[in-house]
Every structure is written in C-alpha cells, then in structure tokens.
Chain A
Amino acid sequence: EEQLLESGGGLVQPGGSLRLSCAASGSTFTSYAMIWVRQAPGKGLEWVSGISSSGGDTFYADSVKGRFTISRDNSKKTLHLQMSSLRGEDTAVYYCAKDYSGYRWGQGTLVTVSS
C-alpha cells in the first residue's frame, strides 16, 4: 500500500517562507495527480493546491495564489509546496493526498506562522 510522508513544517515568522515536501512510497506516484489540503486548528479541511500527474497543470486556491507554488519530481516520487509571504491564517496542518479525489493521505505536517 502506497504511503505518503510530509515534512518541512515548522515555526516561521509572518512574511517568511517554507518548503513542504511529500515523499511517496510505492510505484504509482507518477500515474496520479496530487493535492495539498490544510486544516487550521479546530477547523475543517481547506483545499490548497493540485498538480497533474505530469506536473504540466497546476491549480491553486484563491487564498494562496501568487504566494504558494506546487511542484513535483516524479524521478524522486516527491511532491513539494513552496510557501512564501506567509500569514497567520496560513497556520495549519498541511496534508498531501493522492489524486484529486483524495485516495490516500499523509499524516500531515504542522506549519505555524507567528512572531
């Protein structure tokens, strides 16, 4: 069973940057689109960004457009989310998931934006 493992979360000051990664095990990574979803403390799920299997198509929520960049390295079976100009409202657990429909999910990585 394919597993996803997020990393790169932590404490960052407002206006700062952070790069999240999602490492996939198994052999199907290159066949699937991937998404990032976040969950602020005590809140519901918020879709953040998605990328096609080839990486040729990328999509963003309005709340992060122009600040976040999604990318993938299929040779390393890794998904990334480059986050810049971070704000307090970006504080959340960030999950990566397989396919636009959310087939498999990682355990999440916590991003805290605070001074």
Chain B
Amino acid sequence: DNVMTQTPLSLPVTLGQPASISCRSSQSLVRSDGNTYLSWLHQRPGQPPRLLIYKISNRFSGVPDRFSGSGAGTDFTLKISRVEAEDVGVYYCLQASHFPQTFGQGTKVEIK
C-alpha cells in the first residue's frame, strides 16, 4: 500500500506567523489521467474533518486564501501564510490516486 508520511507530527506556531506541513508519498501520485489526487484536510477537536485543498493546490469552497498547497509526484506541502487561532487542530494529507487510499499520520498544530 502507498504510505503517506507527514512531517512534522507536532507544530507549535505563533499567531500571525507562517506554517508549513510536508507530506511525502511512497510512490508517485500522478495518475494515468494526468491528475494527482492529493488532498489536505483539517480536523478540530470533536469535529469531523473538513477539506481544505484538493488535487494538490485547489482550495475548496469557503477555504481562506491563507491556505495553499503545492508539490508534485511524491512530495507535497501545505502552507498557512499567517496562522490564526481557528487554525489549531490536526492536519491530514489524503491520497486518492491509488487504492487503497491512505492518510498521513496527521500533524497537530497548536499555538505557542
């Protein structure tokens, strides 16, 4: 199965400062149709996950533009340009290019 490795697993951040999370896949996520199905999700405590980014860099409806995704092949990054208090929680990458689909372990973001 495709293994998704996130770093770091814990990320203390200062309000107003940028933050970055990496996700590495054990195999290329480029599909035969040319698309790369890599998503980023955010989960607050006690809440279901919600989609932030799909297909590497596409912001989902209603997602603030301080969130951005980038990468290609096996290496992907989620960036928050200026962290706000509501951004705390756990961030997961999810690959949908290969079955079975797999998540990264999650990165816990907290305010310093």
Interface membership of B67, Cβ < 8 A: no
Interface membership of B76, Cβ < 8 A: no
Give per-residue flags for A38-55: 1 if the beta carbon is below 8 A from chain B beta carbons, else 0: 000000111100100000
Most buried by B among A44, A62, A101: A101
- The docked-state distance in angstroms from the alpha carbon of A45 to that of B92 is 8
- The docked-state distance in angstroms from the alpha carbon of A37 to that of B50 is 13
Of chain B, the residue at the smallest CB distance from A57 is B99
Q: Flag the segment in A13-21, A67-75, A78-86, A103-111 that touches B.
A: A103-111
**Closest-CB distance, A70 to chain B (whole angstroms):** 12
**Closest-CB distance, A86 to chain B (whole angstroms):** 19
Total A-B contacts with CB atoms under 8 angstroms apart: 62
Query: Given the complex, which residues of B lie within 8 Å of A107, measured CB to CB?
Result: 48
How many residues on chain A are close to B (CB under 8 Å)?
22
Query: Given the complex, which residues of A lie within 8 Å of B100, measured CB to CB?
Result: 47, 59-62
Contact status B90-A44, CB under 8 Å? yes
Query: Given the complex, which residues of A lie within 8 Å of B99, measured CB to CB?
Result: 50, 59
Query: Given the complex, which residues of A lie within 8 Å of B94, measured CB to CB?
Result: 45, 47, 101-102
Of chain A, the residue at the smallest CB distance from B101 is A47
- The docked-state distance in angstroms from the alpha carbon of A71 to that of B11 is 39
- The docked-state distance in angstroms from the alpha carbon of A104 to that of B48 is 10
Contact status B49-A46, CB under 8 Å? no
Which residues of B in the span 67-94 have a Cβ within 8 Å of any Cβ on A? 90, 92, 94
Taking a contact as CB atoms closer than 8 A, the residue among A46, A62, A106 that contacts B103 in the complex is A46
Taking a contact as CB atoms closer than 8 A, the residue among A35, A59, A95, A101 that contacts B48 in the complex is A95
CB contact under 8 A between A105 and B49, given known A44-B92, A62-B1, A100-B96: yes
Query: Given the complex, which residues of A lie within 8 Å of B13, measured CB to CB?
Result: none
CB contact under 8 A between A44 and B103, given known A102-B39, A107-B48: yes
Contact status A45-B37, CB under 8 Å? no
Query: Given the complex, which residues of A lie within 8 Å of B101, measured CB to CB?
Result: 35, 47, 50, 59, 100
